[in-house]
Structure 1
Amino acid sequence: MGINTERDLEANLQIGPTDQGFVRIFVEANGVEIPMDFDPEEAEEIADEIRAAATAARSVG
């Protein structure tokens, strides 16, 4: 499976701060829960990568 492999799967995505000072990305799909905690600097890097991907996606087709 790669980034361009399409899947017919629904998932719930939540993003928010924790009471420990981290940013949590929480994914739930098919009964599987995946909490991922990042320090604020890592979260900002992820946000930059998402923005860059969105910019690149706009230029496709």
Structure 2
Amino acid sequence: MGINTERDMEANLQIGPTDQGFVRIFIEAGGVEIPMDFDPEEAEEIAEEIRAAAETARKLSK
């Protein structure tokens, strides 16, 4: 399975700060819960990657 492989699956995504100063990305799908904690710098890098991917996807869809 790769990034371009489509799946018919629903998931819940939550993003927010923890009380310990981390940013948590929490994914729940199919009864499986995946909490991922990142320090603020890592979270900003992830946000930049998401923005860059969105920009590329926007260009490809035109």
TM category (shorter chain) comes to over 0.9
Gaps of 5+ in 2: none
Q: Could you tell me the TM-score, scaled by structure 2's length? A: 0.97
Residue by residue, what CA displacement relative to the aligned partner does 1:2-43 show, whole Å, maximum 9, x if unpaired? 000000000000000000000000000000000000000000
| Runs of 4 or more above 6 Å deviation | none
Q: Could you tell me the TM-score, scaled by structure 1's length? A: 0.98
DSSP 3-state at the match of 1:59: helix
- Report the equivalent of 2:9: 9
- Report the equivalent of 1:44: 44
Gaps of 5+ in 1: none
CA distance in 1, matches of 2:32, 2:58: 31
CA distance in 2, matches of 1:45, 1:59: 21
Q: Give the percent of matched residue pairs that are identical in Structure 1 and Structure 2.
A: 85
What is the aligned-residue RMSD (CA, Å)?
Answer: 0.4
